[in-house]
Structure 1
Amino acid sequence: MNIVILDGYTLNPGDQDWAPIQKLGNVTIYDRSAKDEIVERAADAEILLVNKVVLASETLAQLPKVKYIGVMATGFNNIDIEAAQKHGITVTNVKAYGPASVAQQTFALLLAIVNRVETHSQSVSAGDWVTSPDFCYWKTPLTELADKTLGLIGLGDIGSQVAKIALAFGMKVIAYRKHPVPTEGVDMVSLGDIFRQSDVVSLHCPLTEETRHIINRESLSSMKPTAIILNTGRGPLIHEADLADALKNGTIAAAGLDVLSLEPPKADNPLLSAPNCVITPHVAWATFEARRRLLHMVADNLESFQNGNPCNVVS
């Protein structure tokens, strides 16, 4: 089988081994593919593997040999699923390859806000400690997490992992989920209670029309002025202009974000200049270990399809 990987670089910039996939067919790998390169590169492919490359209806119509699209990620909104079904193309995705890594990044963002390690490290490197009249100093307020309330919106694989870490820090954990599931150490509450009670609100829900802009002017106004928003889920869960205004006006204290509504962002995204806003470039999933699991799970999906038992089908 001819297998074409259209954007392999983010999954494997050179530190992973493509062997689990290469053993399944004749593999051609492109680091990146522009929109006008897709049809030519995929013309002879029976199998397409993509991360964020958009495969729209008009593109799929020009690729009659394609029988399978393996999304090398969890989200698959870059694939026109209706068109794939029309052309008899099986589409699969990969779930639960990185809950530990995403939960780790969630707390990395939170700790960056409450401990300001980077700020103080840079201050020491600049010579501030050498010239300090005291044995210690701090440039910003420092906050202890114990006894603070973490509110989770979403309690799936990642949210549950975040809850475990929060409990280890001595935090109280509350959660909102559309279909509540009893979870040890976690109190299930209403969405309104999440906003009113939480010292930290962390987003781990899927992006749907119901959850789009779940963080907005109204929800932000109901939060504590000392509250922190974390988002390692999907960028459009947040109305970015509303959050930027809330940070500027002191409606809430801070935000830690690993995702934005458009990636890469445009230079005029208001959150890029908002105060007390820590942003990382969608790296929560990208630990070496998580990417290794992802690559092997992509291969497992493809092998299952080749054996006539496709799994993790989304089409």
Structure 2
Amino acid sequence: MNIVFLDRDTLSPQTRLREPGFTHTLVCHGRTAPADVAERIADAQVVIVNKVRLDAQALDAAPNLRFIAVAATGTDNIDLAACRARGIVVSNIRNYAVNTVPEHTFALIFALRRSICAYRDAVRAGRWQAAGQFCFFDHPIRDLAGSTLGVIGDGVLGQAVASIGRALGMRVLMSAFKGRSDMGTLYTPFEQVLAVSDVITLHCPLLPSTRHMIGAAEFAAMRRAPLLVNTARGGLVDEAAVGPALAAGQLSGAAFDVVAGEPPALDHPFMALLDRPDFILTPHVAWASDEAVQALADQLIDNIDAFQRGAPVHVVA
């Protein structure tokens, strides 16, 4: 069986990628440009892909393709309808980031809530010496205990974040879908979550219904000037509206690990916010603890082995 990995460099070089348990050839490309996709998968029966786009045109160039192993949870880079029409099975990775994403989420929350980056930068600039005493109070420091955490997205990651929030003494609200108020007492209407939360964190997929689910109108409805954290998907937030919301005091801070286009262009609105003490941008690494990436790589090969046995798992198409 011919297996091609189109973007091996999206997994850290320290990650061990074991061989599948059957006779095969495996060709790994560090990166693959769009113009090279068709040629590289032309003879493949299995394609491993993380972020490279596989559209209908590319799939048409691979007549022997039977299985796509996605080295991630998100599959928006795959034309799933074209795969179904061709009978190509697609499997993704699940539940590997149950610790790393919630931990990164709270690292960002703590950093903003306690002005960690602002105080670090102040010390670097000599402010401590200039203060002339044992401490100084230039930036706000707020406890999380007793505050309200709004969680948008109730999957494994959203639930894990909610559990940590409760353990820290936060009041946790699980948001209903935007525009829905009929989801039962376990969910709080989306609009109410925006209005009463001190911290809002996103853990939902990027779908037509969730694209730009938070923008200028939603920022204006955030009465408590919350922190906004997105470790889920770029595009959930209207990114051009974040800077104005910070400047207007509608947000007290924002932290993003994801951007609609990655890496962001130099003229992306976020690049103008990097010197602000109330804004943090990390390079899509919430998922990337050593433990989580190795678990992903192991599950990736497990998925391929399961397909070869005729019992595919984690099937999305």
Report the CA distance between 1:92 and its aligned residue: 1.0
Letter of the structure 1 residue corresponding to residue 188 of structure 2 = V
Letter of the structure 2 residue corresponding to residue 9 of structure 1 = D
User: 1:209-248 counterparts in 2 under 5 A?
Assistant: 209-248=208-247
Q: How many residues align?
A: 310
User: 1:149-160 counterparts in 2 under 5 A?
Assistant: 149-160=148-159
- The 8 Å contact of residues 24 and 303 in structure 1, kept in 2 or not, is answered as no
In structure 2, the residue matched to 1:4 is: 4
Report the CA distance between 1:23 and its aligned residue: 5.9
- The 8 Å contact of residues 18 and 301 in structure 2, kept in 1 or not, is answered as no
Letter of the structure 1 residue corresponding to residue 281 of structure 2 = I
- The 8 Å contact of residues 257 and 283 in structure 2, kept in 1 or not, is answered as yes
User: Aligned with 1:230: secondary structure?
Assistant: strand
CA distance in 2, matches of 1:23, 1:292: 21
Please give the per-residue CA displacement for 1:158-203, whole angstroms capped at 9, x wherever unaligned: 0111111111211111111348588xxxx63111110111011111
Report the CA distance between 1:42 and its aligned residue: 2.0
User: Aligned with 2:315: secondary structure?
Assistant: coil
In structure 2, the residue matched to 1:76 is: 75
In structure 1, the residue matched to 2:268 is: 269
In structure 2, the residue matched to 1:304 is: 306
CA distance in 1, matches of 2:6, 2:157: 28
In structure 2, the residue matched to 1:33 is: 32
In the alignment, structure 2 segments of 5+ residues that lack a partner are none
Letter of the structure 2 residue corresponding to residue 227 of structure 1 = P
User: Aligned with 2:157: secondary structure?
Assistant: helix
Seen in structure 2, the aligned counterparts of structure 1 residues 63 and 94 have a Cα distance that, compared at 3 Å, is: same
CA distance in 2, matches of 1:122, 1:271: 19
User: Aligned with 2:201: secondary structure?
Assistant: strand
In the alignment, structure 1 segments of 5+ residues that lack a partner are none
Seen in structure 2, the aligned counterparts of structure 1 residues 253 and 197 have a Cα distance that, compared at 3 Å, is: same
Please give the per-residue CA displacement for 1:21-62, whole angstroms capped at 9, x wherever unaligned: 476622111111111222222222111000001111111111
Report the CA distance between 1:146 and its aligned residue: 0.9
Please give the per-residue CA displacement for 1:118-171, whole angstroms capped at 9, x wherever unaligned: 332343344443454111123311111110000111111001111111112111
Letter of the structure 1 residue corresponding to residue 45 of structure 2 = E
Would you say 1:286 and 2:285 are equivalent positions?
A: no
User: 1:92-241 counterparts in 2 under 5 A?
Assistant: 92-178=91-177, 188-241=187-240
In structure 2, the residue matched to 1:257 is: 256
- The 8 Å contact of residues 233 and 259 in structure 1, kept in 2 or not, is answered as yes
CA distance in 1, matches of 2:204, 2:23: 34
CA distance in 2, matches of 1:157, 1:303: 25
Report the CA distance between 1:272 and its aligned residue: 2.3
User: Aligned with 1:262: secondary structure?
Assistant: coil
CA distance in 1, matches of 2:281, 2:303: 33
CA distance in 2, matches of 1:31, 1:117: 36
Please give the per-residue CA displacement for 1:55-79, whole angstroms capped at 9, x wherever unaligned: 1111111111211111100111111
Letter of the structure 1 residue corresponding to residue 313 of structure 2 = C
User: Aligned with 1:202: secondary structure?
Assistant: strand
Letter of the structure 1 residue corresponding to residue 289 of structure 2 = T
CA distance in 1, matches of 2:170, 2:145: 5
In structure 1, the residue matched to 2:18 is: 19
Task: State the Cα RMSD in Å.
Answer: 1.9
Letter of the structure 1 residue corresponding to residue 61 of structure 2 = Q
Would you say 1:86 and 2:85 are equivalent positions?
A: yes
In structure 2, the residue matched to 1:314 is: 316
- Fraction of identical pairs, as percent: 37
CA distance in 2, matches of 1:6, 1:295: 14
CA distance in 2, matches of 1:213, 1:58: 28
- The 8 Å contact of residues 20 and 296 in structure 1, kept in 2 or not, is answered as no
User: 1:54-73 counterparts in 2 under 5 A?
Assistant: 54-73=53-72
User: Aligned with 2:4: secondary structure?
Assistant: strand
Letter of the structure 2 residue corresponding to residue 255 of structure 1 = A
Please give the per-residue CA displacement for 1:249-272, whole angstroms capped at 9, x wherever unaligned: 222211111111111112222222
- The 8 Å contact of residues 120 and 138 in structure 1, kept in 2 or not, is answered as no
